[in-house]
Amino acid sequence: MRTYWGIFLGALLVLSCKDQPAETAANDGEQEKAAPVTPRFAYGFNLGDFEVVEDTIRSGDSFGELMLANKVAYPKIHELAQNYKDTFDVRRIRAGKPYLILKSKDTAGAAQVFIYQEDPINYTVVDFRDSVRAYRSKRKVTYVQKEASGVIPQGGSLSNVIVGQGLDYYLTYDLSQIYAWTIDFFKLNPGDKFKIVYQEKYINDSIYAGVGPIEAAYFEHNGEPFYAFAYHSDSLDVREYYDEQANNLRRTFLRAPLKFGRLSSRYNLNRRIRYYGYKVRPHKGTDYAAPVGTPILATADGVVTESTQKGGNGKYVKIRHNGTYSTQYLHMKAQKVKKGQFVRQGDVIGWIGMTGNTSGPHVCYRFWKNGRQVDPLREKLPLAEPLAEALRPAYFEYIDTYREQLDCIEFPLMEDGEDLLTLNDPEDAAAQN
């Protein structure tokens, strides 16, 4: 089965051979010497020293059976399984993952090295020569800075605009995380627009390996501009995004417990439901619809106080974040966390389901403040700490170039040259009529 391994190795293993002169009578039948073969190196090995087997893990394959079939003695397999669990867990090889076996060229043809490709960049090497050992490594990656921009059209979405330009879908996720509280991505408007400066990763300068982090971004929502700059200094433990005034864009809570989905029902104390004869039945949750199995995220750090199943709530998780705030996530297919467990913001705590009283797959997100359920979308929750005063001069100097670069990026035009935003501007539309 050909995979990106096949593409990579196919390019890597090409032999460089010099043209051989035609034999003539002048050489008296002497055999010409073969041109030297260029060494073929990959993953730290000269592949020319081995018989190379390239394949993909298939459903039902086990590491032990695979190695026994390639003449690795069982004691060595056992030694690996016992001593290198943290480096390479032999029970967790996954179908679809490519691998390489380097076998000896002698008559035994036994596997000497096994290379397991976790993704296009990261791989694990199991060396059976002499004493067994295993280690993780990475391919050399080149980062190339890129720019992109887009305008949300009527009836469009951020993901459609990004994918429609042939860009990596992961940029949609990155942008939604950077502006998770600043912008409601469930309610973008025609004419909202963005610019980004980001990185693309390449192996051997030619094989695409995904996008790197967004370095700087500009998003205009409802005519209001929002800048974001990634910053990580020696004094900071983590990489954070700040605006042009050094305010942290992250809040103590995520806006929604899903990466992507649809806001299907808001907090509403006066909701009337046809099924109940249009009687007032308050809805104290905020519903986000998504396919069954979609991961549900903890919106802030906290301790799980409940992970159970009860009545109309179905399977749910409740988290206490501090003395003021708690959150609850209903109708799960299954929970991933247990009572008493500490979770971080963004951790997966369960999956979208239809347990309890529900007419479709969604999560009902409930939010408590001082023991009373409130609307999380109307709460003014505290921001994360802004950049320290001592770090601000260096930060402002750092972002100057990025801000100028963002300001110079142009938005895409329609085929007739009109700005996409112009077509969605009510005043311009009225003027044209």
pTM, to two decimals:
0.60
Query: Within the chain, how many helices (H) and strands (E) appear?
Result: 8, 24
CA 166, 168, 171, 172 torsion-angle sign: positive
pLDDT (0 to 100) of residue 39: 62
Q: Are residues 89 and 69 in the same domain?
A: yes
CB 226 within 8 A of CB 241: no
Q: Are residues 244 and 308 in the same domain?
A: no
Burial of 277 (C-beta count, 10 Å sphere; 0-12/13-18/19+):
exposed
Q: What are phi and psi of 221, to 5 degrees?
A: -120, 125
Tally the domains of the chain. 3
pLDDT (0 to 100) of residue 280: 58
Q: Is residue 214 part of a domain?
A: yes
Q: Are residues 120 and 11 in the same domain?
A: yes
Residues 6+ apart with CB under 8 A from 309: 315, 316, 355, 356
- Its domain, for residue 388, covers 140-250+383-433
C-alpha closest to that of 245 among 387, 380, 390 = 387
281 three-state secondary structure: coil
Q: Is residue 358 part of a domain?
A: yes
Q: Are residues 197 and 243 in the same domain?
A: yes
For residue range 143-160, list pLDDT tens digits in order: 999 999 999 998 888 999
For residue range 28-79, list pLDDT tens digits in order: 545 555 555 556 788 889 999 999 999 999 999 999 999 999 999 999 999 9
CB 145 within 8 A of CB 129: no
Rounded Cα gap, residues 327 and 184, in angstroms: 19
Q: Is residue 32 part of a domain?
A: no
Q: Are residues 217 and 280 in the same domain?
A: no
Q: Is residue 22 part of a domain?
A: no
Q: For the chain, which residues score pLDDT lower than 70?
A: 1-39, 233-237, 267-282, 414-433
Which of 345, 374, 403 is the endpoint of a domain? 374
Q: Are residues 133 and 192 in the same domain?
A: no
Which of 105, 138, 171 is the endpoint of a domain? 138
Q: Is residue 20 part of a domain?
A: no
* 119: amino acid identity, one letter: D
C-alpha closest to that of 200 among 191, 188, 209, 192 = 209
CB 166 within 8 A of CB 204: no
Q: Are residues 11 and 132 in the same domain?
A: yes
Q: Is residue 30 part of a domain?
A: no
Distance from the Cα of residue 129 to its chain's centroid: 36
Which of 138, 173, 201 is the endpoint of a domain? 138
Q: Is residue 257 part of a domain?
A: no
Q: Where are the beta strands (DSSP E) in 28-152?
A: 41-42, 45-46, 51-56, 98-103, 111-117, 122-127, 133-138, 141-151
Q: What is the dihedral of CA 40, 41, 47, 52, to 10 degrees?
A: -100
Rounded Cα gap, residues 274 and 230, in angstroms: 48
Q: Are residues 165 and 228 in the same domain?
A: yes
Q: Are residues 65 and 102 in the same domain?
A: yes
Q: Are residues 131 and 148 in the same domain?
A: no
Burial of 326 (C-beta count, 10 Å sphere; 0-12/13-18/19+):
buried
Q: Are residues 132 and 97 in the same domain?
A: yes
Q: What is the dihedral of CA 194, 196, 201, 204, to 10 degrees?
A: 110
Q: Are residues 109 and 210 in the same domain?
A: no
CATH number for the domain harbouring residue 178: 3.10.450.350
Residues 6+ apart with CB under 8 A from 404: none
For residue range 90-115, list pLDDT tens digits in order: 988 999 999 999 999 999 999 999 99
Q: What is the DSSP string of 177-232?
A: HHTTTTS-TTS--TT-EEEEEEEEEEETTTEEEEEEEEEEEEEEETTEEEEEEEE-
CB 228 within 8 A of CB 241: yes
The percent of the chain in helix, strand and coil, each rounded to the nearest 5, is 20, 35, 45
Q: Is residue 329 part of a domain?
A: yes
pLDDT (0 to 100) of residue 237: 63
